[in-house]
Chains A and B, each alone.
Chain A
C-alpha cells in the first residue's frame, strides 16, 4: 500500500514545492492541463485545427530558442530543418509508400543529421556572420528542389499525403502531446548542465573553452538537437496539411520563427512558445473578418513593433520580472509577494 502511494505523493510534493509556488510555472501547468482536456468539452473543428497548427509551430519556435537563444547561434535559416523534416517524410511516403508513423520520425532524424552537417561550417562563424550565412541554407535546398521537379514536385511540392490519424481530435493530440512533452524536455535541457554550457557559450565562448569545455562538441549538439525538434515539427506539419511544398523552406518562415523567438523572449523556451500561442491564432482569427483579412500581417507586424518598443527584451522576461523576484543570495525565483526567499530565507528586498 505504501509503495503504491509513493508515486502520487512524490508527484504532489513536486507540484506543491516546484510548480505552484511560482505564478509563471502555475500558469504553464494549468495552460498545459487545459490544452489536454480541451477537446473533451469543446470540439469545434476550426478551433482545434488552429491549436493543432499552433502546437506544431510551438515545437518549431522552441527548437529555434534552444539553438539561438541558449547557445547564441542566431539561426536565420531555421526553415531548413522544418523543410528537411517535411520533405523527407513526404518523399518517403510518396515514393516508397511508407506509413507516416515511420516517415515522421525518419524526417526528424534526417533533419538532425542536417543540423549536424550545417553546424560544421557554422563552427567557424560568429555573430552576424553566422546569422546571415545560415539564411542561405534553406534557399540552396529550394534551388536544388526546383532543379529536379520530377523528384520533388517542383513549385507545387508533394500533395495528397496521408495524415497520421483521421479524426480531428486525434490530430489535435498528435500535435499537442509531442508539443507539451518536447517543450518540457527542451526546457529541462536548458535547465541541465548541458544547458548551462549552452548559456556559457553564448555569453563568452573563449572563456568557456578556457574552462576546459569542448565547445565544438556542444555547439554541434545544439545544432543537432535543434534540427531534430524542428524536423519533427516540419514532418508533423507536412502530414497535417497533407502537403510538403517550398513554402516550408521560405525566408518568410525563417523570419517568422525569429519574430516569435525574440517577441516571446530568447533563452526561455516558454517565451517563444507563448509567443506562438498568442501570435499565430491572432493572425488566423483576423483572417475571418473581412475588414482585417487583407491587413492581418500588417496588424501582426505593428503589434510586434509596439510591444518591442515597450518590452525590448521580449514579452515573457518583462512579465516574469514583474511577478517574480530573484533571490539575491541563491538566485532562485520567488513570487513577488514574498519577503523572504522560499529556499534560503534571505531577505528579498
Chain B
C-alpha cells in the first residue's frame, strides 16, 4: 500500500503541478481567473483521442499536433473573447466559465457522453521497488519532469521569461520599461495552455476521457493554487505535491476514501488559509489592500 501511495501520488501530483503552474502564470501576468483552464486540458485529451483512434495518426506525431491545436484555439479564444472585456473583471470571469461550457457541450455533441479509453503509447509494466508501474505512468512522470524543468528555464533564463516575471510583478512599470505587456500576456496564455495541454495528452491514455473530466481537476487545481499562494509558481508546484499526496493517502488508507479525497484536500486548503490567508508562498498585492 505504501508503494501504491508513493507512485500514484507522484503521478497525480505531477499532473496537478502542470495544471496549477499554468493557472498561476496566467493569473500572475494577466489577472485572469481562468476557469476554462482545465477545459483546455480536456480538449487536448480529446484531440489526442481523435487523432489516435479516429484519424489513426502515429503516437509521436499525434502528441505535438494535439498540443499545438489546443494552444492555437486558446489564442483565438483569448483574442476574440477575453481581450475585448479585459477591463471588466467579472465579465472575464464568466467569459471563461462560458468558454468551458461551450467546450464541454461541443465535445458532448461530437463524441457523446460516454467514457472513452485509448491505447497506451507503450504497453507493459515495469517493477520498481516492488510496485508494478505501467510504462505509460512512467512516461507521465518523465514528461512532467521535463516540462517543469523547461518551464523553469524559460521563466528564469530567457528574455521572454524575464518579461513575463516583470509583467507579473508590476504591469505598469513593466510597460514603462518598454515591455509590450499585451503581447507578453498573449505569450503567457499560450505557455499556460500548452502546460495544460501537455498534462492532458500524457494522462489521456492513463485515465478515460469524458466531457465532464474538466470539473474534478479544476476544483483540485484551484485548491492547490490557493494553498500555494495565488500567482506564486513555487507555491503551485509545492501545493500540487501536498494535495496530490493527501489525495493518494486518503484514497488508499481511509475507508470510503475515494468519496472523501476531495473533501480532505479542500479542508486542508481551508485550514492553511485560516493560518496564512495569502497561502503558503503568496505575496500580498499592493493594490489589493
The smallest C-beta distance from B228 to any residue of chain A, in angstroms, reads 12
B266 within 8 A of A: yes
**Nearest A residue (CB) for B215:** A251
Q: If the complex has contacts A132-B225, A133-B269, A258-B94, are A312 and B274 also in contact, measured as CB distance less than 8 A?
A: no
The 4 A-B pairs of least Cβ separation, nearest first, read A143-B263, A136-B266, A298-B105, A146-B259
The smallest C-beta distance from A125 to any residue of chain B, in angstroms, reads 6
* Chain B 68-94 interface 0/1 with A at a Cβ cutoff of 8 Å (1 = within): 000000000000010011011011011
Whether B274 lies near A301 (C-beta < 8 A) is: no
Tell me which of B90, B99, B106, B269 contacts A266 (CB under 8 A): B90
Whether A298 lies near B225 (C-beta < 8 A) is: no
**Nearest B residue (CB) for A255:** B97
* Chain A 110-144 interface 0/1 with B at a Cβ cutoff of 8 Å (1 = within): 00000000000100111111011101110111111
10 residue pairs of the A-B complex, CB under 8 angstroms, read A121-B273, A125-B273, A126-B288, A139-B263, A143-B263, A259-B97, A295-B105, A297-B104, A308-B94, A309-B85
Whether B99 lies near A139 (C-beta < 8 A) is: no
With A and B bound together, what is the CA distance between A252 and B214 in angstroms?
Answer: 12
Whether B91 lies near A301 (C-beta < 8 A) is: no
Whether A294 lies near B108 (C-beta < 8 A) is: yes
A312: which B residues are within 8 A, CB to CB?
84-85, 87-88, 91
With A and B bound together, what is the CA distance between A128 and B28 in angstroms?
Answer: 12
A287 within 8 A of B: no
A262: which B residues are within 8 A, CB to CB?
90-91, 93-94
Q: If the complex has contacts A124-B273, A132-B225, A262-B91, are A143 and B259 also in contact, measured as CB distance less than 8 A?
A: yes
With A and B bound together, what is the CA distance between A137 and B262 in angstroms?
Answer: 11
Whether A308 lies near B91 (C-beta < 8 A) is: yes
With A and B bound together, what is the CA distance between A29 and B90 in angstroms?
Answer: 29
Residues of chain B whose beta carbon lies under 8 Å from any beta carbon of chain A: 27, 33, 35, 81, 84-85, 87-88, 90-91, 93-95, 97-99, 101-102, 104-106, 108-109, 215, 218-219, 222-223, 225-226, 230, 256, 259-264, 266-267, 269-270, 273-274, 277-279, 282, 288-289
Interface residues on A, range: 35 or more
With A and B bound together, what is the CA distance between A274 and B190 in angstroms?
Answer: 37
Tell me which of B222, B266, B277 contacts A125 (CB under 8 A): B277
Tell me which of A206, A301, A309 contacts B84 (CB under 8 A): A309
B33: which A residues are within 8 A, CB to CB?
128, 131-132
Whether B226 lies near A133 (C-beta < 8 A) is: yes
Tell me which of B91, B259, B270, B289 contacts A136 (CB under 8 A): B270
Residues of chain A whose beta carbon lies under 8 Å from any beta carbon of chain B: 74, 121, 124-129, 131-133, 135-137, 139-144, 146-147, 206, 251-252, 255, 258-259, 262-263, 266, 294-295, 297-298, 300-302, 304-305, 308-309, 312-314
Whether A301 lies near B273 (C-beta < 8 A) is: no
Whether B97 lies near A121 (C-beta < 8 A) is: no
**Nearest A residue (CB) for B258:** A146
A139: which B residues are within 8 A, CB to CB?
219, 262-263, 266
Whether B27 lies near A128 (C-beta < 8 A) is: yes
A136: which B residues are within 8 A, CB to CB?
219, 223, 266-267, 269-270
A132: which B residues are within 8 A, CB to CB?
33, 222-223, 225-226, 230
Whether B279 lies near A305 (C-beta < 8 A) is: no
With A and B bound together, what is the CA distance between A302 and B95 in angstroms?
Answer: 10
A125: which B residues are within 8 A, CB to CB?
273, 277
Tell me which of B84, B102, B105, B260 contacts A143 (CB under 8 A): B260
